[in-house]
Amino acid sequence: MNIFAPALEKKIAASGNIAVVVIDDAAKALPLAEALLAGGVDVMELTLRTPVALDAIRAIAGRVKGMLVGAGTVLTPTQLKQVSDAGAAFAVAPGFNPRVVAAAKEMGFSFAPGVMTPSEIEGALEAGCRLLKYFPAGVVGGLKGIKNIAAPYAHLGIRFIPLGGLTPETSAEYFGSPLIAACGGSWIAPAKLIAAGDWSAIRENAAKATAIAKAARALPQKTS
């Protein structure tokens, strides 16, 4: 069982990159999504860290053809319902909250909880989660940490989305592992570029991220 819809997981994995964004002005949501898409990044996680986050999701969902928009920092069942109603296709969280996972299962809504310990992985597996967010990846061992923590469970088909501290330089290493479904990157569309409306720079970052994923995945994957 996997509470994350296989078709959505496949699209996310095919993209390779998830642009993790924080928006303070809902009016910037559409041009942001269009800039990301122009650079080849067609999956974004819009975090619920600002009052306009739900409005931004509504602005993008169903209006930017080809963009898969999800919600991040979803911490409660109420927020899960809100992002679903706003049009988000999926949601993720920084940690593992059994109540939120149970609500996602009841709703039939794709959700990936955050993990960083074996106990959290086992709790997520018990709840039917096979796609997991590994957070904060940059400070809890990176890819080496993922490989070590996943070793006892790899035969169960789990895959990870590392987020937190990833850079263009470190992303390529993650893409070389079959454990990685996609990489989450806040560097693709940082808050300062969004605030400045620098869509050209964001498009260039997205193109860079797309090229990194494509090049890394063209190489033989490393299983050890």
State the catalytic residues: 45, 133
Residue 109 has, within 13 A of its CA and on its CB side, a CA count of: 27
d(CA 90, CA 11): 12
Beta strand 114-115 with 131-134 is: parallel
Q: Under DSSP, is residue 168 helix (H, G, I), strand (E, B) or coil?
A: helix
Report whether 104 contacts 111 (CB < 8 A): yes
CA count, 13 A, side-chain hemisphere, 190: 10
Helix/strand/coil (H/E/C) assignment for every residue in 85-153: HHCCCCEECCCCCHHHHHHHHHHCCCEECEECCHHHHHHHHHCCCCEEEECCHHHCCHHHHHHHHHCCC
User: Structure tokens of 51?
Assistant: 């009052």
